[in-house]
Amino acid sequence: MADEDDELEEGGDAKTPDKPPQFDDDEEGEEGEEGPSKKFNKIKLFIILGGVVFFLLLIGLSLFLFGILDPYLGLDEEDIDQEEVVIQGQVFYKLQDITLNLNEEGKKSRFLKVGLTLVLINEGDVAVVEALRPRIEDYVATYLRELRPEELSGSANFYRMRENLLLRVRAAVAPVQVTNVLFNSVLVQ
């Protein structure tokens, strides 16, 4: 640039001073500037597209986990065959109240009166349960007679007692399926 300025001052036949001199280097500079800006635009584009794809995957995963997509994916619970689902307890069979004394050390006797209802699956099982009622009452009375009065207080003990009674009733009526044992009344004196 300094050489051209010197030429202008020495000779008037060079380029006119009104026009700035144009260099071939400017064109290369423009291309060099566009290269990094295009590269920067591509990086921004990839970051934005990656964010959008991640956001869409996150939405799809949350819709799947919350079960909103189940009808669209064919994952309805209604498709399960009715034969596979066992309907628990459609028939109730009430046993006679059982009165017995509890296992307690000391002079005072404590009595327990309990009324039970068995929950069966089929109505045809009622005849079998009626035939096996003495065995059921024996198994239940044998278990209850060994309980102490302290073991009958509290909900956790009643739950444990229900589970043990269900186990003994199922053993007494082995081919018949009993789904639950319900307490009608429990009286401790």
- In the chain, the domains with their CATH numbers are 2-64 (no CATH), 91-188 (3.30.479)
Neighbours of 102 (CB within 10 A): 19
What global pTM score does this model have? 0.52
Residue 98's alpha-carbon distances to 5, 140, 151, 152, in angstroms, are 124, 9, 18, 15
Neighbours of 11 (CB within 10 A): 8
The 10s digit of each residue's pLDDT in 89-121 is: 588 999 999 999 888 777 788 888 999 999 998
Contact by Cβ (8 Å): 135, 144? no
Burial state string for 57-96 with b = 16 or more CB within 10 A and e = fewer than 16: eeeeeeeeeeeeeeeeeeeeeeeeeeeeeeeeeeeebebe
The 10s digit of each residue's pLDDT in 137-188 is: 999 999 998 888 888 888 898 899 999 999 999 999 988 888 899 999 988 8
- Sign of the Cα pseudo-torsion (78, 79, 83, 88, in order): negative
Overall average pLDDT of the 21-47 stretch: 66
- Sign of the Cα pseudo-torsion (168, 174, 179, 185, in order): negative
- Sort strands 178-188 and 98-101 into parallel, antiparallel or unpaired: unpaired
The whole-chain average pLDDT of the chain stands at: 79
Rounded-to-integer distance, Cα 187 and Cα 166, Å: 19
